[in-house]
Structure 1
Amino acid sequence: MTDQNVVNPYSAPTSQVETVNVSGDAVFCPAKKLTAGQGNRIVADAWNIYKVSPFKWTLMSVIMFVIMIVLSMIPIIGSIFGSLFYTPLFAGLLIAARDVEKGEALKFGHLFSAIKANGRGVFGLAFVMSIIGLVNLLVGFMFMGSGTFMAAYSGYMGQEVDPATLDINPVGMIIGFIIMMVGTLVLVMMSWFATPLIALQSVGVFQALGMSFKASLKNWLSLTVYGLIMLFWLFVATIPVGLGLFIMIPLMSITVYTGYRKIFTM
């Protein structure tokens, strides 16, 4: 008997199990670089998923926003609860998009499916993104000054403030605004694909944030085309008294899935 065929049962697996989708039918891969034209396909593919059950998609999106509004009305901690629950509910829509693409029926239970599938991951992402967003605001307001902060806070609380009583530094405001805008862009790039990576592939939170940022940077051209197309349709959606937004809001959610699908799977 030779030693060649002896396998250590405690050794690490040698197959690339991380490249297989949890559903077993889509092969996960490192971020690919899409062509500019494929930015249009992200929207087209999302429409094909939406039109299977348009009423349910719209109703689910409305329910999600109603839940967010109700949570935000909770005294003191409402805004915190709202920010923490948005990502898990949004992740449920991505799981729904995957299942509909596979031919399964869209169910209202999909809205909470990410919490059941990977609650720790989606809530962890929500928490980390909230902290990063808060830091971005604080750094921006450090340059803008206390006067700008008080004006913004008073406006948020519905109070009127006399601008003459505020100590506002114009140069600091510009620098702070630029910092906030750049920080927000980085935040979007980090979170855009992090949600589907966590909800659909169970990738770790910080790993997903890094992968999302790199993929967004790598595909800046196709994502810019996608963004311009979505801006055009958002404008069109607002023309009939904003009724088109009932289509665009769920469609935008689905495009996050179709963008992830094109970039991270074979």
Structure 2
Amino acid sequence: MQATPLPAYQRLPAGMGSRWIGDAWRLFRDYPASWVVMGVLFFVIQLVLGLIPMLGQFLAAISTPVLMAGFAVAAGRVPSGQLPRINDLFACLSADRVPPFLLLGTVYLVLSMAVYTLAFLLAAGAGFGLPGGVNAGSPMTAAMGEQLLLALLMGGIPATWLLTMAFWLAPLLVLHHRLTPLVALRLSFMASAGSFAAFAIMFVGMTVLLFLAALPFGLGLLVWVPMSLLLPVVGYRSLFAAHA
């Protein structure tokens, strides 16, 4: 049986990064109430799952893709003039649709643990050990601690960057093309790498906006969280325009 070809993606210029942010904002602005409620529900669900002893982080991680797909389902109503429905957030929770999203979340969690562990080991292997006879409270110890923290940041930031490239489009690729999790992660990474400058501008721009959103008592997160969940929608529509 002939394999189904993967959806083709476009290589886009750097300016698309800021355009994605603008498109996500306009999509949010047109239906703010719906998106705010869905964003709050997303945050609360993640928070509650994360508080479950032993399994919290695992449950929160595997639930993320299916909720992201729900945002995409809601956003898919807008081009035809329909209002996004809040219950669309749970549209992919049916028994016949949820398994690939849960598997995607599991694969992504394992991949994240592996990448961050590698980043930590590389930082720890950079030679930041305490020489014999050095007091734990000495200035030298403090300096070494600062160097270790810097090394962890230098490893953690690129790791987060690479993981985001692999994950941000993966739930939509599973939703629209029924791809397996590994194929979806790989294709998301390839599409992001093919338009790396645009992705970089979007990533940095949303990081800056996150810090700004957190300043006024975190109220800006009511906008930032839905926008971050709408970005994969607008990104998918432009990167995979032939299939959107």
TM over 0.5, yes or no? yes
> Residue 101 of structure 2 contacts residue 174 of structure 2 at CA under 8 Å; is this kept in 1?
yes
Q: Which runs of 5+ in 1 are unaligned?
A: 1-10, 20-28, 147-162
Q: Which residue of 2 aligns with 1:39?
A: 17
Q: Which residue of 2 aligns with 1:124?
A: 103
> Residue 46 of structure 1 contacts residue 255 of structure 1 at CA under 8 Å; is this kept in 2?
yes
Measured on the aligned residues, the alpha-carbon RMSD in Å equals: 3.1
User: What percent of counterpart residues are identical?
Assistant: 26
Q: Which runs of 5+ in 2 are unaligned?
A: 126-135
Mapping 1:38-57, distance limit 5 Å: 38-57=16-35
> Residue 169 of structure 2 contacts residue 232 of structure 2 at CA under 8 Å; is this kept in 1?
yes
Q: State the one-letter code of the partner of 1:258.
A: V
User: How far did residue 35 of structure 1 move?
Assistant: 1.9
**1:136 and 2:129 matched:** no
Output one character per residue of 1:103-126: Cα deviation in whole Å (capped at 9) or x when no partner.
222212111112336312211110
Report the 3-state secondary structure (helix = DSSP H, G, I; strand = E; otherwise coil) of the residue aligned with 2:84: coil
**1:92 and 2:99 matched:** no
User: How far did residue 172 of structure 1 move?
Assistant: 7.1
> Do the aligned partners of residues 240 and 137 (structure 1) sit closer, same or farther apart at CA in structure 2, a change above 3 Å counting?
closer
Report the 3-state secondary structure (helix = DSSP H, G, I; strand = E; otherwise coil) of the residue aligned with 2:193: helix
Write the distance in 1 (CA, Å) between the matches of 2:151 and 2:218: 35
Output one character per residue of 1:39-71: Cα deviation in whole Å (capped at 9) or x when no partner.
232123223322232111101110111111111
1:227 to 203, 208, 215: 203
**1:197 and 2:170 matched:** no
User: How far did residue 195 of structure 1 move?
Assistant: 1.6
> Residue 191 of structure 1 contacts residue 212 of structure 1 at CA under 8 Å; is this kept in 2?
yes
Q: Which residue of 1 aligns with 2:129?
A: none
Output one character per residue of 1:119-163: Cα deviation in whole Å (capped at 9) or x when no partner.
1221111000100111123323434559xxxxxxxxxxxxxxxx6
> Residue 75 of structure 2 contacts residue 230 of structure 2 at CA under 8 Å; is this kept in 1?
yes
Mapping 1:200-211, distance limit 5 Å: 200-211=176-187
User: How far did residue 228 of structure 1 move?
Assistant: 4.1
Q: Which residue of 2 aligns with 1:4?
A: none
Q: Which residue of 2 aligns with 1:187?
A: 163
Write the distance in 2 (CA, Å) between the matches of 1:172 and 1:63: 37
> Residue 145 of structure 1 contacts residue 169 of structure 1 at CA under 8 Å; is this kept in 2?
no
> Residue 142 of structure 1 contacts residue 176 of structure 1 at CA under 8 Å; is this kept in 2?
no
**1:76 and 2:54 matched:** yes
Q: Compute the TM-score of the two structures, normalised by the length of structure 1.
A: 0.73
Mapping 1:57-76, distance limit 5 Å: 57-76=35-54
> Residue 123 of structure 2 contacts residue 155 of structure 2 at CA under 8 Å; is this kept in 1?
no
Q: Which structure has the bigger radius of gyration?
A: 1
> Do the aligned partners of residues 67 and 31 (structure 1) sit closer, same or farther apart at CA in structure 2, a change above 3 Å counting?
same
Comparing 255-264 and 104-113, the one that deviates more:
104-113
Write the distance in 2 (CA, Å) between the matches of 1:176 and 1:248: 26
Write the distance in 2 (CA, Å) between the matches of 1:132 and 1:180: 14
Write the distance in 2 (CA, Å) between the matches of 1:225 and 1:214: 17
> Do the aligned partners of residues 139 and 109 (structure 1) sit closer, same or farther apart at CA in structure 2, a change above 3 Å counting?
same
Q: How many residues align?
A: 228
Write the distance in 2 (CA, Å) between the matches of 1:52 and 1:176: 40
> Do the aligned partners of residues 41 and 102 (structure 1) sit closer, same or farther apart at CA in structure 2, a change above 3 Å counting?
farther
